[in-house]
Amino acid sequence: MEPMADDRSPHEPLDRVAEIQEEWRRERPDLDPSPQGVIGRLHRVALELTERLVAVYGRFGLSEGEFDVLATLRRAGAPFERPAGELADHTLVTTGGLTKRVDRLAARGLVERRVEASDARKRLIRLTPEGRDLIDRAIAAHLANEHRILDELGKTDAATLEPILTRWLRILDEA
């Protein structure tokens, strides 16, 4: 397999991923490290994005998982509650992991548990007024942060990237 072309100008320094690829080409010329050009950079981008997103959640005293739970409840609309199993599905966490998050949020008065009226075995998780106020402020700051991050990339590149990532995520989800 032939290596992918290097898009750098001759005077542009190598980024860390390109340095790693060059090292592999030198040490193992029989291997093609070209996928690292995309996957390695996406991984580094994901780590950097996570850092920038988590910093905003932290300003509201929330972890990434806690933000996710509150946001999922807020998106449900009034009365801002979901069954525990559905909440776990929406937040892509196990029910055990969800229990820990809900326990922490409940201890802070941000969510409450209640029994489903039609089935006493079923638990509902609901935002409290304090939880709703907090997530409303946090989501506004989060979206402003995401806008700032994408502004660094530029509207054209962001618009080009979105359908590519959408398609790739669909392919990975189907696999």
Structural domain boundaries in the chain: 41-175
User: For position 163, what pLDDT does the model report?
Assistant: 97
User: For position 5, what pLDDT does the model report?
Assistant: 47
User: For position 93, what pLDDT does the model report?
Assistant: 85
Contact (Cβ atoms closer than 8 angstroms) between residue 148 and residue 168: no
Side chain identity, residue 154: G
DSSP SS3 for 115: strand
Give the β-pairing of 81-83 and 119-127: antiparallel
User: For position 1, what pLDDT does the model report?
Assistant: 39
Question: Could you read off the pLDDT tens digit of each residue along the chain, which spans 175 residues?
Answer: 344 445 545 556 778 999 999 999 999 999 999 999 999 999 999 999 999 999 999 999 999 999 999 999 999 999 999 999 899 888 888 888 899 999 999 999 999 998 877 776 788 999 999 999 999 999 999 999 999 999 999 999 999 999 999 999 999 999 8
User: For position 96, what pLDDT does the model report?
Assistant: 83
50-62 burial, b for 16+ CB within 10 Å, e for fewer?
A: eeebeebbeebeb
Place of tokens 């979105």: 162
Domain 41-175 belongs in CATH node 1.10.10.10: yes
User: For position 91, what pLDDT does the model report?
Assistant: 86
Report CA torsion sign: 89, 95, 97, 103: positive
User: For position 12, what pLDDT does the model report?
Assistant: 65
